Amino acid sequence: MRYAAIAAAMLATIAGPAFAVDPIALPVTSDSTLPVYEGSSFDWNGFYAGVYGTATQSPSYDRAYGIGVNAGFSHAFDFVLVGGEVAFHPLGNANVATGYLQAVGRGGVLVTDNVLLFGATGFGTDTGPLDDNHVLAGGGIELGVTDNVSLRGQYLHGFPVTSENPIEQVTFGAEFHF
């Protein structure tokens, strides 16, 4: 009998009604706002001009150094940038003093809002006594550091057109965007 009473009590417990616990209500609105970082995005569109330092290697004059100026225009389509520029830099070392004029087209990818990886191709000519002409090809990286200033590093290889002397050109400079 004792076992029957225990069994009946267990059955009553299992078969009895279930009672749910009321949910705890938490407020979902608040007067405080979450901090959101709004980084500045660089505007790559429009006209720019800059200054740069260059080191150029050529069989004609070994290694020469110079300071140059450039001007160009670029436009960004989403994350793709296209543009073109002209540049001039006088070059010199102990053996030669000359200048180099170039025009290149640029195309690149915006890795972030402030970082551009680009390729460049164009034409360059020696304006001094060497009179060498080159088809230029290379690339570089540009970093937007303020709202209208960027820093650039670029490498160009010059394939000879009017001589047998290729060139290697490395430039570092600052661009001012208008």
Residue 45: how many CB atoms within 10 A of its CB? 14
Task: Identify the pLDDT of residue 95.
Answer: 86
- Selection from 45, 91, 51 nearest residue 69 by Cα: 51
Each domain of the chain, given as residue ranges in start order, spans 46-177
Task: Identify the pLDDT of residue 50.
Answer: 97
**pTM here?**
0.76
DSSP one-letter string for 95-120:
S-EEEEEEEEEEEEEESSSSEEEEEE
| Token pair belonging to 81 | 């940038």
Task: Identify the pLDDT of residue 110.
Answer: 95
CATH number of 46-177: 2.40.160.20
User: Residue 99 class from Cβ within 10 Å (0-12 exposed, 13-18 middle, 19+ buried)?
Assistant: middle
| Token pair belonging to 11 | 């059955």
Task: Identify the pLDDT of residue 36.
Answer: 44
Digitized pLDDT (tens) for each residue of the chain, 178 residues in all: 666 666 666 656 665 555 556 666 666 666 665 444 444 589 999 999 999 999 999 888 889 999 999 999 999 998 999 999 999 999 999 888 999 999 999 999 999 999 999 999 999 999 988 778 999 999 999 999 999 999 999 999 999 998 888 999 999 999 999 9
Q: For the chain, how far is it from start to end, CA to CA, in angstroms?
A: 99
